[in-house]
């Protein structure tokens, strides 16, 4: 018989429901329906599991009635699937952890004994000053680690077992970066401190205690092979375990009221593959390099508007407007003369459109687009709602490629290049209307290459182009880009650096001779 036993993790709790039971764990939960008898079966199963049973005995008894056997099989399967069972040692050995630490490891560690051995095998060094370092040192000692006396130094650095965590605390804000190598975490900490721009002064004791303990917690998890605390956040409504925060999550803590949250950080020294949405990462309210795009007090009819700092974005929905504002603001961080996109399809489509926009072509009559409800709607916004003395020049540049330019009093308000006259006019007219609505002076360009979030009811049988344009237009974007290349459009990829590329942005420039 194995010296180990399988136990229900101490953090797991269950409650009966009218038709079964609900079981909650550390990072997930499940509900089973099948009658009140499920609760009785649970009580008989949970009792032995709380004490621990040999692994080979965790099985459905051969003599169990079929209904009970099915319920037991389902319960055991769900407990395993949701990581609510753990194998614990029969004996921890001479260096056994205190009861509260053992209970914590049994609640969260894949292998409590292995995690404890790793934690006991290292000596952690704390470098810092004041209450921040003192609280980190105290938390590490409380977790059962061997900790050297605090070394003086700026900020806070806790290191051991090949991992390190850096943190900092101002008078009003503190932070703890993701675990990594010493050079990485120190570089990230310095950059995060600059981004947060905390108030000078001695940090309050409560803030220093929160940040120092959080830094210690992240190091303990890294050394012990436990999931980083940033992955513990669960959506309270769905109870679905998250896939993990994008990039290197940084804990940011503030006063009034005291609170702490993990925020994605676009690191310059340890970039990762793009993960997470642009709005969540690039425009993060705490750590994003671009101001968070929000509608604010901007008018929202007929075009949806959003502002990221002083930059205004345009769209048919709030999400589209916020994404457009984010990209326009991010251009200040990109090289000059590049076309920026939310992804490769968007950036490439925008650049190819720019490359062909000055080509000569044949005029398209108004009859070819005026009957389209979407084009007509946006043109009416220009001519009637904003009473602009505007004209639309529509030109066919080649097979399947149409350019629309909106001008007023000789000034170019907007332009668009799309596959059909109706779409080209619709985008150009919407951009011109948005320009007038926002009161901006620059030429506005919008296009069908941008990613558009699926609207509510998009799949309803009664919806059509008039309801959710331009959603779905990007489905034909790659074929349209082939048509643009056939006209001689030539663009080249441009590197954006680790921060913007980690956010998922892509840039192209029009190549010489590409027009």
**Cα 258 to Cα 508: distance, rounded to the nearest angstrom:** 44
What kind and span of H or E run contains 76? Answer: helix 66-81
pLDDT tens readout for residues 136-182: 999 999 998 999 999 999 999 999 999 999 999 999 999 999 999 99
In which region does residue 400 sit, left (phi positive, over 0), alpha (psi from -120 to 50) or beta (all else)?
left
Q: What are phi and psi of 93, to 5 degrees?
A: 100, -175
CA–CA dist 192, 333 (Å, integer): 17
Look at strands 362-363 and 390-398 and give their pairing: antiparallel
The DSSP secondary structure of 381-392, one letter per residue, reads: IIIIIS---EEE
pLDDT for residue 164: 96
User: If we measure between CA atoms, which residue out of 418, 444, 450 comes closest to residue 432?
Assistant: 444
In order of their start, the domains of the chain are: 5-88 (3.90.930.70), 122-270 (no CATH), 275-515 (no CATH)
28: left (phi over 0), alpha (psi -120 to 50) or beta: beta
Rounded to the nearest 5°, which phi and psi values hold at 447? -155, 165
Look up residue 353 and give its two tokens.
Answer: 């459109």
| Long-range residue pairs from 383-389, CB within 8 A, at least 24 positions apart, any chain | 385/302, 385/433, 386/433, 386/436, 386/437, 388/413, 388/432, 388/436
Give the list of residues 6+ apart from residue 482 with CB closer than 8 angstroms, or none. none
| Tokens linked to 328 | 């326009």
pLDDT of residue 245: 45
Distance (Å, whole) CA 418 – CA 479: 12
What tokens appear for 382 in the block? 């220009």
- Which distant-in-sequence residues (6+ apart) come within 8 Å of 363 by Cβ? 393, 394, 395, 396
Comparing 467 with 250, which gets the higher pLDDT? 250
As given in the structure block, the two tokens for residue 170 are: 């101002």
pTM equals 0.80
Whether the pLDDT of residue 243 is over 50: the answer is: no
128 DSSP assignment: E
Alpha carbon distance 477, 451 (integer Å):
10
Q: Could you report the per-residue pLDDT of 4-16, keeping only the tens digit for each?
A: 888 899 989 999 9
Helices (H), 384-504: 421-438, 465-468, 477-486, 498-503
**Would you say the C-alpha torsion 343, 347, 350, 353 has a positive or negative sign?**
negative
Confidence of residue 93 (pLDDT cuts 50, 70, 90): low
User: How far, in Å, CA of 444 to CA of 412, rounded?
Assistant: 9
Beta-bridge mates of residue 506: 341
Mean pLDDT for the stretch of residues 42-63: 84
Joined tokens for residue 470: 């331009």
User: For 140, which DSSP code?
Assistant: H
Q: Tell me, rounded to whole angstroms, the distance of Cα 237 from its chain centroid.
A: 18
Sheet with 29-33, side-by-side order of all strands? 13-16, 20-24, 29-33
Mean of pLDDT over the chain: 88
- Is the pLDDT assigned to residue 364 strictly greater than 80? yes
**Cβ atoms of residues 305 and 434 within 8 Å:** yes
What is d(CA 332, CA 449) in angstroms, rounded to the nearest whole number?
21
Q: Is 224 left (phi over 0), alpha (psi -120 to 50) or beta?
A: alpha
Confidence band, pLDDT 50/70/90 cuts, at residue 36 = confident
Site of tokens 């329906």: 33
- Max CA distance (Å), the chain: 90
pLDDT over threshold 60, residue 238:
no
Kindly state the tokens that stand for 366.
């108004």
């Amino acid at each position: 018989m194995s010296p180990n036993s399988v136990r229900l993790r101490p953090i797991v709790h269950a409650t009966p429901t009218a038709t079964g039971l609900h079981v909650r764990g550390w990072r997930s939960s499940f509900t089973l329906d099948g009658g009140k008898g499920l609760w009785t079966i649970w009580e008989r199963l949970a009792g032995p599991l709380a004490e621990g049973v040999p692994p080979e005995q965790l099985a459905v008894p051969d003599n169990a009635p079929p209904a009970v056997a099915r319920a037991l099989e389902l319960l055991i399967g769900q407990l395993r699937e949701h990581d609510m069972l753990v194998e614990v040692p029969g004996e921890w050995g001479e260096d056994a952890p205190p009861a509260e630490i053992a209970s914590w490891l049994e609640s969260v560690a894949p292998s409590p004994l292995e995690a404890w051995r790793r934690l006991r095998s290292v000596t952690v060094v704390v470098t810092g000053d004041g209450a921040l370092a003192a609280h980190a040192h105290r938390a590490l000692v409380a977790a059962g680690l061997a900790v050297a006396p605090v070394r003086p130094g700026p900020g806070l650095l806790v290191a051991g077992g090949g991992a390190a965590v850096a943190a900092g605390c101002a008078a009003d804000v503190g932070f703890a970066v993701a675990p990594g190598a010493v050079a990485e975490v120190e570089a990230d900490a310095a950059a995060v401190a600059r981004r947060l721009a905390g108030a000078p002064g001695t940090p309050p004791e409560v803030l220093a205690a929160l940040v120092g303990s959080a830094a210690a917690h992240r190091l303990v998890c890294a050394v012990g092979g436990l999931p980083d605390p940033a992955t513990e956040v669960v959506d309270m409504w769905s109870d679905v375990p998250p896939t993990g925060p994008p990039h290197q999550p940084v804990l940011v803590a503030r006063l009034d009221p005291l609170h702490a949250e993990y925020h994605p950080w676009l690191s310059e020294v340890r970039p990762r593959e793009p993960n997470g949405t642009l709005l969540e990462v690039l425009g993060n309210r705490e750590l994003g390099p671009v101001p968070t795009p929000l509608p604010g007090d901007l008018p929202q009819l007929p075009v949806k508007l959003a502002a990221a700092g002083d930059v205004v974005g345009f769209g048919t929905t709030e999400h589209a407007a916020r994404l457009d504002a984010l990209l326009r603001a991010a251009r200040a961080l990109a090289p000059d003369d590049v076309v920026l996109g939310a992804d490769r399809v968007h950036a490439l489509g925008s650049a190819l459109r720019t490359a062909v926009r000055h080509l000569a072509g044949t005029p398209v009559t108004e009859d070819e687009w005026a009957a389209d409800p979407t084009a007509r709607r946006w043109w009416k916004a220009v001519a009637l709602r904003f009473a602009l003395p505007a004209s639309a020049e529509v030109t066919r540049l080649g097979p399947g490629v149409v350019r629309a330019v909106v001008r007023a009093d000789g000034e170019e308000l907007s332009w668009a290049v799309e596959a059909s006259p109706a779409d080209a006019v619709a985008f150009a007219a919407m951009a011109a209307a948005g320009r007038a609505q926002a009161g901006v002076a620059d030429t506005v360009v919008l296009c069908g290459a941008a990613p558009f979030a699926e609207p509510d009811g998009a799949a309803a049988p009664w919806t059509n182009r008039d309801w959710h344009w331009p959603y779905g237009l990007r489905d034909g974007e790659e074929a349209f880009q082939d048509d643009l290349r056939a006209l001689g459009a030539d663009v080249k990829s441009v590197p954006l650096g680790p921060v913007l590329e980690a956010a998922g942005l892509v840039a192209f420039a029009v190549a010489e001779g590409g027009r």
